[in-house]
């Protein structure tokens, strides 16, 4: 689905939204994306109850849509879970897996995230596999060990062909929703390490898009997206504000065109 170095910007609405407000935001995003040059692909991951609304307002636009989590199972007695194939029925093409909020609040393990990644791929969704260290882990010098184990646990379970179809998002936990973004240099350093892990799996896998997430704003987006191994962003808070989200998409579009 994704070409090398075409930027990808995906919004993560988290547990925000109501039907009335969503409609304006979805329409504004679709209209804004139509004006982009094509050096960036845009997506929105919405709460599951709003998938039908996303489908009806984004279908035919340049904005893809998807979910923020999926079940590790295909079907069965798993109350409250949503299967990848259910999201697919609403035209979804993206599924975030292993977001740090799910790892922290729902105790999702590396093994569970690997199963969810496999489910997304089997259904034909593009999994956006999130990895990231806490502040304590960074301060203890454990960043590479932590993100390496999180990504390695997924890559180990995938064939080269399957691994080439994922997207990876580096999201330092200390930067999510805090307003404190990693600097472009800090982010690039971890991205280069993750790129090495992908390359070690196979040179084809090294091409998967590596997104940065954590307090991306219009003001810091350009510098982040110009880094050698940053292919776009996973955007939380700013994706709820149409103008800010589109400004970030424009920064990615320009970075894609410049390189
Ligand atoms: C996120 O939730 O994935 C995220 C990056 O959030 P924020 O942009 O608000 O830091």
CB count, 10 Å around CB of 136? 10
Give the residue extent of every domain in the chain.
7-258
Q: Do 226 and 255 form a contact (C-beta atoms < 8 A)?
A: yes
Residue nearest to atom 4 of ligand 1 (CA): 236
Residue nearest to atom 3 of ligand 1 (CA): 236
Distance 216 CA to ligand 1 centre (A): 7
Report the nearest atom of ligand 1 relative to the CA of 179. Answer: 10
Q: Reduce the DSSP state of residue 218 to 3 states and report it.
A: helix
Q: Residue 94: what are its φ and ψ, rounded to 5°?
A: -125, 145
Phi-psi region of 32 (alpha: psi -120 to 50; beta: other; left: phi over 0): alpha
Would you state the structure tokens that stand for residue 256, as one six-digit string?
């894609």
User: Which among 129, 216, 224, 247 is the best mutation to test ligand 1's pocket, defined by most ligand atoms within 8 Å of the CB?
Assistant: 216
pLDDT at 208 over 90: yes
Is 171 known to be catalytic? yes
Q: How much is the pLDDT for 4?
A: 45
Give residue-wise pLDDT tens across range 96-145. 999 999 999 999 999 999 999 999 999 999 999 999 999 999 999 999 99
Distance 133 CA to ligand 1 centre (A): 14
pLDDT-based confidence at residue 180 (cuts at 50, 70, 90)? confident
Share of the chain above pLDDT 90, in %: 92
Q: How much is the pLDDT for 88?
A: 98
pLDDT at 3 over 80: no
Give the separation between CA 198 and CA 210, rounded to whole angstroms.
10
CATH topology of domain 7-258: TIM Barrel (3.20.20)
Report the nearest atom of ligand 1 relative to the CA of 175. Answer: 10
Measure CA 209 to chain center: 9
């Amino acid at each position: 689905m994704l070409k090398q170095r075409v930027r990808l910007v995906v919004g993560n609405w988290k547990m925000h939204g109501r039907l009335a407000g969503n409609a304006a935001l979805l329409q504004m995003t679709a209209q804004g994306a139509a004006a982009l040059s094509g050096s960036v692909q845009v997506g929105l991951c919405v709460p599951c109850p709003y998938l039908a609304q996303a489908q009806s307002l984004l279908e035919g636009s340049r904005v893809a849509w998807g979910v923020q989590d999926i079940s590790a199972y295909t079907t069965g007695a798993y109350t409250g879970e949503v299967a990848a194939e259910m999201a697919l029925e609403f035209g979804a093409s993206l599924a975030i897996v292993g977001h740090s909020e799910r790892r922290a609040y729902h105790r999702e393990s590396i093994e569970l995230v690997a199963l969810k990644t496999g489910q997304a791929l089997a259904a034909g969704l593009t999994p956006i596999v999130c990895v990231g260290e806490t502040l304590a882990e960074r301060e203890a010098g454990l960043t590479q060990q932590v993100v390496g184990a999180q990504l390695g646990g997924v890559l180990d379970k995938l064939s080269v062909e399957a691994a080439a179809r994922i997207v990876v998002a580096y999201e330092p936990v200390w930067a999510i929703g805090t307003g404190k973004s990693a600097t472009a240099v800090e982010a690039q350093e971890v991205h280069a390490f993750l790129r090495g892990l992908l390359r070690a799996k196979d040179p084809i896998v090294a091409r998967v898009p590596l997104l940065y997430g954590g307090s991306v704003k219009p003001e810091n987006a350009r510098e982040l997206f110009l880094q050698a191994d940053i292919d776009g962003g996973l955007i939380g808070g700013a994706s709820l504000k149409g103008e800010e989200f589109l400004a970030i998409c424009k920064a990615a579009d320009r970075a894609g065109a410049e390189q």
